[in-house]
A and B are shown apart, each in its own frame.
Chain A
Amino acid sequence: MATTSTPARSITRARLASVLQGQGALVALALLVLFGALRYDNFLSSYNVTSFLANNAKFGLIALGMTFVIMTGGIDLSVGAVAALASVVAAMVSEYGLVVGIAVPVLVGAVIGLVNGSLVAWGRLQPFIVTLAMLLAARGLALTVAGNQSVAVDFESGFTALGTTTLLTLAAPIWIFAVAYLLGVLVLGRTPFSRHVLAIGDNEETARLMGLRVERVKLGVYALSGALAGMAGVLLAAQYGAGQPAEGVGWELTAIAAVVVGGTLLTGGLGSVVGTLWGVLLLGLIFNVLNFENGRGVISLSPYWQSIVLGGFLLVVVLLQNRLAARQT
């Protein structure tokens, strides 16, 4: 192959590879939206779009935190359990109003993230094990605190406003979703923090020798992931009207899938917040399209296809990334 390909062709191929690596999810998302819009009535109706976004806000927040963690070469398996714990905490403190109902669970999440980060950064333990242990611990705490049942939110307080308030016709969770990603993009694109995160993921030893405070950056990344999982728990409680100690099983894996589909390398050092956003929307949209397909009633596609499509899609994307990356070098 090396003898036949001209420099121009290899450049085109490299460019194609980088586009697919970074924007593959966006291309797939655009195609899926186009498909849905042409095929189904009401697919682009404001009701479908807003409820779709509001439902996926939780996953969006978790995947955002996961992006930064994975960019350092780490992983955070605890997010689903932390979200469940935070939702229980949110329901329990909801009687004190909206501000407390948001601040306390987010703080709980951040503290758990700090524990994760400390064990990873200073304890030098593997992120996979630390956050697996934290998954068990947070899930156990959530179930214990809640007594193995859902905890009702206080409907007299201002907390429920989170689920009902709309601003410019968009529900509050959508705004939180949007603001989080806007901040994520700004942080990643314009501050040294993101460069430090990527430098650590690329080569931790080099980053240390360059004088980066590796431990502090790692601590920050896990704390951010925990806090965002806490916020996802707040949304969970607001949307269900109750804290759900048994919810969030497998959310961490969905988030990892969204991050990887969005073009962030599992080994760290390369990643994109925008890519993760496309990844989250794409994975969510697969479910949405399956629902619409069923609604037409021509063929009955069970919603159970979702996890099959999702799993298959994940493999295909990573396979393509691998192939293209291999050709690039």
Chain B
Amino acid sequence: MSGGSRIRPGDVKRRGFLKLLTALTAGAVTAPADAEAFDLDAFLQKHFHQMSDDEKRRTLQRLEQDYNDKYERDDFTVVADGPTPGVKFAYALNLSKCIGCRRCVHACVQENNQHRGREERGDQVEYIRVLEMEKGSLDLEKAVHDYDHEVPAEDKYYMPVQCHHCNAAPCVKACPVEATWQEPDGIVVVDYNWCIGCRYCAAACPYWARKFNWIEPRLPADEINPDTHYLGNRPRYKGVMEKCTFCINRVRKGLNPACHDICPTGSRKFGNLLDKDSVIRRIIDHKRIYILKEEVGTDPSFYYFFD
């Protein structure tokens, strides 16, 4: 959002009087203390679905410039790779193998440029919560998520929970401005420039998968992953919602998500549900599958399995 006002005399003729009037009105109403914080192009940016290809290209360029300026780098890339026809992503997690080491949690934080913080209303944003469960029980109310001992503990098993990328996603239905939607390849995404921060989606999600930026995200420049996606891991703003995107910047290039590759036990499996030879299809065909909170009818793309 940095970069300052882009209004220049030459622009007035080109971009039109109404645009300038809108900007001036907005500026007068909001009266930002820091004039540099207001960006006319960002203010007038359309919904992602309404942007033409040219508008998308210019938006991505502007964002790259903004991020490079903000974090004093020169290697930011913001892409908007689209879904591949014939691909529907799904994820499977082996509850018999996960040992609860939380390496997935931290790989996710680093890959997705999440906020690092340890303060009031500003805790580190983590998309994955690893639940320590009693063996023989699926009672989530007795789950512990802040355990701090050697794992795996005796008589415990571990259930990492993250966005289930539901095919009947209640978060998508709850959003009043259509800032979140499910892509054709199954990934539920958020347009951070369109989100108004009402948090209805977080209230609607039965998996506690949505995370809100209560404060301006703190992202150390030397820990940034500069390979970003518009709908994924690009730096977020204060007051917007974010969530797991299956590492959309990776999976749309054919790579596995970060949490998948870091898992030391191989508990995490990812693939194309429409490919009958994919590992995900083999698991669904041959293993015992458990769908978390199946009774709420969210039809998730995330499966747990046992072996």
Do A and B make up one complex? no
Chain B contact residues, CB within 8 Å of chain A: none
